[in-house]
Chain A
Amino acid sequence: MVDTTMNDKIFNVSMSPHIRDNQSIAKIMWTVIIALTPAALFSAFNFGYRVLIVLLIGMGSAVLFEYLTQKIRKKTITIGDGSACLTGLLLAMCLPPTIPFYMPAVGSFIAIVIAKHAMGGLGFNIFNPAHIGRAALMISWPVAMTTWSKMTTGVDVVSTATPLNILKQQGYQKLIETFGSAPDMYQALFLGTRNGSIGETSTVLLLLGGGFLIYKKYINWQVPVVMVGTVGILTWVFGPAGLFTGDPLFHMMAGGLIIGAFFMATDMVTIPITIKGQVIFALGAGILTVLIRLKGGYPEGVCYSILLMNSITPLIDRFVQPVRFGLRGEAK
């Protein structure tokens, strides 16, 4: 999108954008991958080395499919820009650690070939490719996608269900008992020594990565803050024992909310362009997540809520169109 090779033509009057800087797709993508690395590496400590293979298969197959599709479409091969690699990594981080090895590859195929290139390639996809891949796997192999392993290492060995699963099926009291006490539970959720998808467990490392991206100005802080905040407030208000009895801290750290809010809901391609639009997007995604978690059939709803909001992104963009310079509101 942005290139620096135009310096010799600097006096040409061309189409916008006119402001150029040294950002490039590759730089952004590789930075996001670096931001995800600590949480990905932690998962190996949490679940064992097997997840590293899953992550590598996810990334490798995504890059391979990107290469093949671009070859077939006779486009420039852009596997070096890291976008396929990032999609594969995000996809693999949303899968359970015990998943069979071929499933991340199938997911990458769906993410890259169907969700990305069939829509026109990078920048044209309507839905977040990684989440489409996950949703397709979820529909195709519901059993494999919801089988959770015991953690191999780590301080506490949690039962074979994820915290949100326990909450959904056995209630809040049982959830606390599983972890021992409420502070123990918060600690496990914060540090990531709990069960769940490969990359979603460690709240602290994901926050560090997300904070790094906000510091580099690759993502707007409003999106994750609004999304996580909405989930927190709504789960607190609509608690199990009446109004204002919920456990917002648990809901904010459990499941894939943190990775979803920082790394999926901030994907530049599939969310609205303006800050106002992005806030609406994050708000909607938060509300839908809470709806699915508290009332829906699935224990977790981050993936589907972001995909649903992706589908109305063009609509949001239309509603929050900034007024053109020089015009006041009434002159629209």
Chain B
Amino acid sequence: MKNLWDIFKKGLIVENPIFVLALSLCPALAVTASAITALTMGLSVMFVITANNVVVSLTRKLVNPKVRVPVYITSIATIVTLVQLLLQAFAPELYKALGIYLALIVVFAIILARAEVFASKNSVIPSFFDGLGMGAGFTLALLLIGCVRELLGAGSIFGIPVIGDWYDPALIMILPAGGFILIGYLVGGFKMLTEYMEKAEAKKGDR
């Protein structure tokens, strides 16, 4: 059980997909102008990555290594189509707001990377937790970026105004330039955080 928790946990901070692995930065810029689209995208990816990890792990002994990538892609595309249809049916507005990026989940580097690096070499249950952890880390990162950008760029979070009228929103934050600047600083912040955690860990080891 401890082991599974470790697998889940590493996706959150130590191997955070956006801030540490720097995979799938495109959606991190494109759909994070508001918190709600960021959260939807994060949860969609979390679902796809977990489901795909399970599928890949289940079929890992059946698939000839030479054709593994097309098989992964087929599996991912199927799951993404599922998500797409679900969103279109139950949250048409969010579906519209996410636009092309929802379909583009198929080619997100992070999903293929987890299938290749983890799920194809491990059994189903660890793969499930790996997908869950990575997905959670991705969602966390997107939500963080989305909240800050919406707060500074529109003065609200999840569409609810939180700063009074005195604040004149800085448009740059909801434009790509602001996204780049923010992600840069967050990557730096995560680096500081992981270094601090490593130091704390080392201290614990000494004792």
Contacts and interface: CB of A to CB of B under 8 A. Distances in A.
Contacts of A144: 168
Contact of B181 (A100, A114, A141): A114
A15 interface: no
A48 interface: no
Interface in A129-176: 136, 139-142, 144
Interface residues of A, number: 10
A2 interface: no
Interface in B148-189: 168, 170-173, 175, 177, 181, 184-185
A114 B185 CA distance: 9
A244 B35 CA distance: 54
A139 B184 contact: no
**Range class of the B interface residue count:** 10 to 19
Main SS at interface, chain B: helix
Contact of B170 (A100, A106, A114): A106
B168 A139 contact: no
A208 interface: no
A144 B173 CA distance: 16
Contacts of A136: 172, 177
A275 interface: no
B170 A140 contact: yes
A106 B152 CA distance: 12
A140 B181 CA distance: 14
A230 B184 CA distance: 38
A139 B172 contact: yes
Interface string A97-114: 000100000100000001
A118 interface: yes
Given A136-B172, A140-B171, 9 more contacts: A100-B168, A118-B185, A136-B177, A139-B172, A139-B175, A139-B177, A140-B170, A141-B171, A142-B171
Interface of A: 100, 106, 114, 118, 136, 139-142, 144
17 contacts: A100-B168, A106-B170, A114-B181, A118-B184, A118-B185, A136-B172, A136-B177, A139-B171, A139-B172, A139-B175, A139-B177, A140-B170, A140-B173, A141-B168, A141-B170, A141-B171, A144-B168
Interchain residue pairs A-B with the least CB separation, the first 5? A140-B170, A140-B172, A139-B172, A140-B171, A136-B172
